[in-house]
Amino acid sequence: MPPIRTMMSCPQCRQPVQVELEQLFDVTQDPSAKRRFLNGQFNLINCPNCRYQGQASTFLVYHDNDKELLMSYVPMTLGLPQAEQEKIIGKLVTEVVNKLPQEKRKGYLFNPKPALTLQSMLDRILEADGVTKEMMDAQRGKANLLQSLINTPDEQLAAKIQEHDAELDETALQMLSASIQATAQGGNVAAARKMADLQNQIIQHSSYGAKLRQQQAQMQAAMREMQELGDQLTPDKMMELVLGANSDDKLAVYVSLGRPLLDYGFFESLTRRIDRAEGADKERLTQLREKVLAMTQQIDEAAKARVQAAAEVLKRLIDAPDLKRAIAENAEAIDDTFMAVLTENLNAARQANRLDVAAKLARVSETIQQLMEQSAPPEIKFINQLLDLKTDEEAEAEMFKRSAEMTPEFLQTLTYLAEQMRQGKREDLANRLDKLYMAALSAQMTTNWKK
């Protein structure tokens, strides 16, 4: 059941506001529904009149066939008679059943479990995933602490972070990161920025933050080392780096960035070293080989899982009745891996002369490109428009026409993009961006001179 647009009264100012209501979360039909439900990013009210932001009260049905989970929730604030509640929930449950093949229709479908609160519904979903009550209580405690820290005055924040140092661990920062992302996606940029500031303060003033900073410094040093080597990174040099790694963090960077060089020949060479070694050195090299093997296996398995997940998302997009909505719902999954899978499938379909499949894949690719361009910052949009022009002369003329847009942010973006292109071995595009930068600088100077 797709979301419906309807008018509701704002709980704060009582003015009518348009809300997109999603009442059926059928994870079996739409795996992304679970993420939306657990994140709470649904049925949001954003009142343009009083700036109220909150969740609309409405009836909900959640279904997961794999876990035989079917739940309903009717807010008491709606004040609906029991018969009306059963009628509405029954309609949603019927839709769930109708979409299931006969062999998957089981007894649990005829007895949806009512939830008294939205929180109890969330708890039941997490319990089905193996999350215990103790784990949920601990997570709520961290959530309450983070909320308390957000509301703490700046001058007291460092002391309060140190007071709760033991509680501010990896889990707490993961929760904060998830909240920042969800809040930003919900459009509340100010709140997301405040949470991001808190995250930085925790990293600066907590023991776990100190550990993170140390790991980050080591990893950045290893990355710089690899980048400086560039084309000079040979199998022998790779062996030298791995043998000299003085921490697992550095070793992980070497293995991650140099994975193509860690082939059969590399491990054969390392094994020969182990055979020649004695005593403590032999034990150290043996442990190192086991670490590198485990890391490469983990990288390969993660890459395989990313490709598989990307293929599943691609299938959902192809089959989606509303492609733009489906892309928005799966935005987090649309990354370099997804685009590579999409391109590979598109090329394969064309080579096999499967024009019907190729047309669907091309539509997905074009729609993603359009949405990316629409959501891009103004500087990126302008740069893309300039790059689309046939000659440098046309681009320069356009920049002088729009010289008011030659802001410091625009110039910084040009510099950043040129550097990114060079790192990606796209010298032709990097050189063109350099030319645009010089033209932008000239246009900016001309505008300032006229003032």
- Residue 450 clears pLDDT 70, i.e. is over it: no
pLDDT, position 297: 93
16-20, 155-159, 369-373 — most confident range: 155-159
Name the residue with higher pLDDT: 153 or 39. 153
Q: What is the pTM of this model?
A: 0.54
User: Taking the C-alpha atoms of 201, 202, 203 and 207 in order, what is their torsion angle to the nearest 10 degrees?
Assistant: 130
With bands split at pLDDT 50, 70 and 90, how would you rate the model's confidence at 352? very high
pLDDT, position 291: 94
Contact by Cβ (8 Å): 125, 69: yes
**What radius of gyration do the chain's Cα atoms show?**
27
Name the residue with higher pLDDT: 276 or 29. 276
User: Taking the C-alpha atoms of 217, 222, 225 and 229 in order, what is their torsion angle to the nearest 10 degrees?
Assistant: -150
Contact residues for 386 (Cβ-Cβ < 8 A; gap 6+): 395, 398, 399, 436
CA 269 to chain CA mean position, Å: 39
The fraction of the chain above a pLDDT of 90, given in percent, is 28
Residue whose pair of structure tokens reads 């460092």 in the numeric block: 158
Name the residue with higher pLDDT: 168 or 39. 168
140-154, 283-297, 404-418 — most confident range: 283-297
Contact by Cβ (8 Å): 128, 64: yes
Contact residues for 255 (Cβ-Cβ < 8 A; gap 6+): 242, 262, 292, 295, 296, 299
Of 72, 66, 80, 73, the C-alpha closest to 111 is 72
pLDDT, position 445: 67
In a 3-state reduction of DSSP, which class is residue 365? helix
Contact residues for 169 (Cβ-Cβ < 8 A; gap 6+): 208
pLDDT digits (tens, 9 = 90+) for 269-281: 999 999 999 999 9
pLDDT, position 448: 56
With bands split at pLDDT 50, 70 and 90, how would you rate the model's confidence at 375? low
Name the least confident of 123-132, 228-237, 337-346, 398-407. 398-407
What average pLDDT does range 277-286 have in this prediction? 93
Whole-number Å distance between alpha carbons of 373 and 451:
33
With bands split at pLDDT 50, 70 and 90, how would you rate the model's confidence at 446? low
Contact by Cβ (8 Å): 55, 45: yes
What average pLDDT does range 332-360 have in this prediction? 89
Structure tokens at 305: 């899982």
What average pLDDT does range 338-366 have in this prediction? 91
pLDDT, position 449: 55
pLDDT, position 185: 61
Of 114, 104, 124, 118, the C-alpha closest to 28 is 104
pLDDT, position 34: 87
Whole-number Å distance between alpha carbons of 319 and 450:
56
The fraction of the chain above a pLDDT of 70, given in percent, is 94
Whole-number Å distance between alpha carbons of 255 and 300:
11
- Residue 213 clears pLDDT 60, i.e. is over it: yes
Beta-carbon count within 10 A of 164 CB: 16
pLDDT digits (tens, 9 = 90+) for 158-201: 999 999 999 999 888 888 887 787 676 656 667 778 888 898 89
- Residue 447 clears pLDDT 70, i.e. is over it: no
With bands split at pLDDT 50, 70 and 90, how would you rate the model's confidence at 423? low
Long-range contacts of 147-151 (CB under 8 A, 24+ apart): 149/198, 149/202, 150/194, 150/195, 150/198
What average pLDDT does range 361-375 have in this prediction? 83
Average pLDDT, the chain: 85
Whole-number Å distance between alpha carbons of 348 and 358:
8
**Element holding 335 (H helix, E strand):** none
Contact by Cβ (8 Å): 210, 167: no
- Residue 381 clears pLDDT 70, i.e. is over it: yes
CA end-to-end distance (rounded Å), the chain: 58
Burial 207-229 (b: 16+ CB within 10 A, else e): ebbeeeeeeeebbeebeeebeee
With bands split at pLDDT 50, 70 and 90, how would you rate the model's confidence at 243? very high
Domain definitions of the chain by residue range? 4-129, 134-205, 219-287, 306-373, 376-450
- Residue 403 clears pLDDT 80, i.e. is over it: no
With bands split at pLDDT 50, 70 and 90, how would you rate the model's confidence at 425? low
Structure tokens at 338: 């997804």
Sign of CA dihedral 422, 427, 432, 435: positive
Contact by Cβ (8 Å): 122, 38: yes
In a 3-state reduction of DSSP, which class is residue 39? helix
- Residue 2 clears pLDDT 80, i.e. is over it: no
Whole-number Å distance between alpha carbons of 289 and 443:
57
**Element holding 63 (H helix, E strand):** strand 60-64
> Would you list the DSSP string of 368-398?
HHHHHHHHS-HHHHHHHHHHHSSSHHHHHHH
Name the least confident of 33-37, 96-100, 329-333. 329-333
- Residue 244 clears pLDDT 70, i.e. is over it: yes
Of 300, 209, 205, 301, the C-alpha closest to 259 is 300
Name the least confident of 129-133, 195-199, 361-365. 129-133
